Chain A
Amino acid sequence: MGADSLLDIQNLKLDLPDGRRLLEGVSFQVQAGEALGVVGESGSGKSLTAMSVMGLLPGLYASGQIVFAGQNLVGLPDKSMRKLRGARIAMIFQDPMTAFLPVRSIGAQIDEQIRLHQPRSRREARARTVQLLGRMGVPDPAMAAKRYPHQLSGGLRQRAMIAMALSCSPDLLIADEPTTALDVTVQAQILTLLREIRDEGAGVMLITHDMGVVAQACTHVAVMYSGLVVERGPVRDVLDRPLHPYTQALLAAIPPLEGPRPEQLPTIPGQPPTPENRPSGCVFAPRCGFVRPDCGVRPALIETEEGRRVACVLYAV
């Protein structure tokens, strides 16, 4: 691991100017052709991690390493970062309605991204835009390119957003809750699309709170809690045999869609800590059912078996 990873994040920390620490040391890798699901509840730092990779967090201090294709992005000047952004690392957002500029046509906005990174004429860029929209399954792509965001349905908008992200054939696609604002039938369409993108060889980092989405679209998963990765590994292993008590509790809290209906859903008592009162030991200890005295020391993310890591004293050797 490491040298051949497309994206290798090592011990990423993120601080506010007032000293509050938002990320406590995030580490994970994304390989080409793989999709990593980053799951966690609001405030766990999953979106912050993504924005750090994009270099889009002005006013926050990052330390640690974000190595993308052999280049450390932490501390990279904005000018060099801009060459990567949109060209080699692209991002899609949760709400394609607000993520597009409302006052310009979809096509113009995709053309813009193409022309920002590639020396193409207006006409060539538009031809590429139409081709991309068509590939994303947008009916009548030439016409759709002339439309404004509000004139398209939510599903088509998100397809256009993905088309824009893919316009310069990026190596890494970061998707921040790409289907949360969509209906389930449309979500299923978009997840299928993401799967195809990954099959074509790009690395995907999918941020979501939905375990089902992870299961459908990802090969690997990293579970975040309070600014830390507490568990990561191949999707099947983690979902079938979650190791960390938080992952277990998170999976148990999802109401089942089949089988007997439980009288009560298992819940996690209490709330996640804020950055100010984050415990110095295991961040999950105050809500954990297995808490022990040695939870007072922050457990490292250790490898328990091939490709699986967990940060919990229960698995310490």
Chain B
Amino acid sequence: MNVLLEARRLEKQYKLGGGRVLHAVSDVSLQVHRGEALALVGESGCGKSSLGRTLIGLTQPTSGEVLFDGHRISGLSDHALRPWRARMQMVFQDSSAAFNPRRTVGESLAEPLRIHGRKNIRARVDDLLDQVGLARSVADRYPHEFSGGQRQRLNIARALVLGPDLLVADEPVSALDVSVQAQIVNLFRDLRASLGVACVFISHDLSVVRQMADRIAVMYLGSIVEEGDGLEVLDRPAHPYTKALLDAVPRPDRPLPPPLKGDVPSPVNPPSGCRFHTRCPIAQPKCATDRPSLQPCGVGRRVACHYPLVA
């Protein structure tokens, strides 16, 4: 496997009024290999969406760099980014906003092909609809005629039009009903198998992430606290935050353990030391002062904790 996308020490800060700075992403380094699916999980405000957008150049990092296929794409102008855009696409949560309501979906799907001067446009659109499991005849219909699940399929088709190497999907199934969600989860698996496209899934839903991703990076307040093989991380969490997240998922088979206390601290004013220490059930004095770095922990796993739950 070789590296498709690499982030090195990414920082993303937003300036708020009054000299306050929101640290959306702080010191994130990660790699996505060709054909691999990485999931960024965490609660709202943990920076997973900001990170996703920074990875594909929709926003520029404050510092650090992003390499795509060995080339530096962070800091490039919009114009210089354009050739890369075809190779990285984004799928959004709100599946209804991505299509022009006054044009047939066929026209919308064909547009990027026309812009990039591709041939055999009609055949390509038919191909795409086959791939996402829609009938070819839907190309002549308008976006409002589709259900939420079908629209999400179209949305994925739109992202696949130019044959990208990487998809970044921000909460691709969280707006869907369970039965439809399962269809889309399966679709992503099929597409990865048939097209070899790498995916970065951004999600808050651990069971969905477990089903969709090879590797998981758990984020808390802008930083990755734990990263590794998906099943490994979720079956034997090393970071107390990962464990707390897992415990908080309501499941039919066991009563809820006592939940974490309090709310996520403000990213404008993050705690000192380990950012999780204010809510951590096993915090020690050292955690309030020393910030743990992401250290190897087992095979292909990294964790940022002074007292990891697995050695």
Contact = CB atoms under 8 A, between A and B. Distances in A.
Interface of A: 41-42, 153-156, 183-189, 191-192, 209-213, 215-217, 239-240, 249-250, 253-258, 261-268, 271
B145 interface: no
A254 B246 CA distance: 15
Interface in B5-20: none
Nearest to B43: A183
Which DSSP category, helix, strand, loop or mixed, fits chain B's interface? helix
Interface of B: 43-44, 147-149, 177-183, 185-186, 189, 204, 206-208, 210-211, 231, 234-235, 244-253, 255-256, 258-260, 263-264
Contact of A156 (B179, B186, B263): B263
Given A41-B178, A191-B256, A257-B210, A183 B189 contact: no
A42 B177 contact: yes
Contact of A261 (B148, B211, B251): B211
Given A249-B179, A261-B210, A265-B211, 13 more contacts: A183-B44, A183-B204, A184-B204, A184-B248, A185-B43, A188-B256, A212-B250, A215-B250, A215-B253, A257-B210, A267-B182, A271-B149, A271-B180
A250 B178 contact: yes
Contacts of B245: 184-185
B179 A255 contact: no
Contacts of A212: 249-252
Contacts of B177: 41-42, 209
Contacts of A185: 43, 244-245, 248, 259-260
Given A257-B206, A267-B183, A192 B256 contact: yes
Given A153-B263, A185-B244, A192-B259, A255 B252 contact: no
A185 B220 CA distance: 12
B252 A250 contact: no
B256 A257 contact: no
A239 B252 contact: yes
Contacts of B208: 255
Nearest to B177: A41
A253 B248 contact: no
Nearest to B259: A188
Given A183-B264, A187-B248, A254-B178, A216 B207 contact: no
B43 A184 contact: yes
Contacts of A154: 44
A303 B39 CA distance: 45
A203 to B, nearest CB: 21
A155 B182 contact: no
Which of B148, B182, B185, B260 has most A Cβ within 10 Å? B182
Contacts of B211: 255-256, 261-262, 265
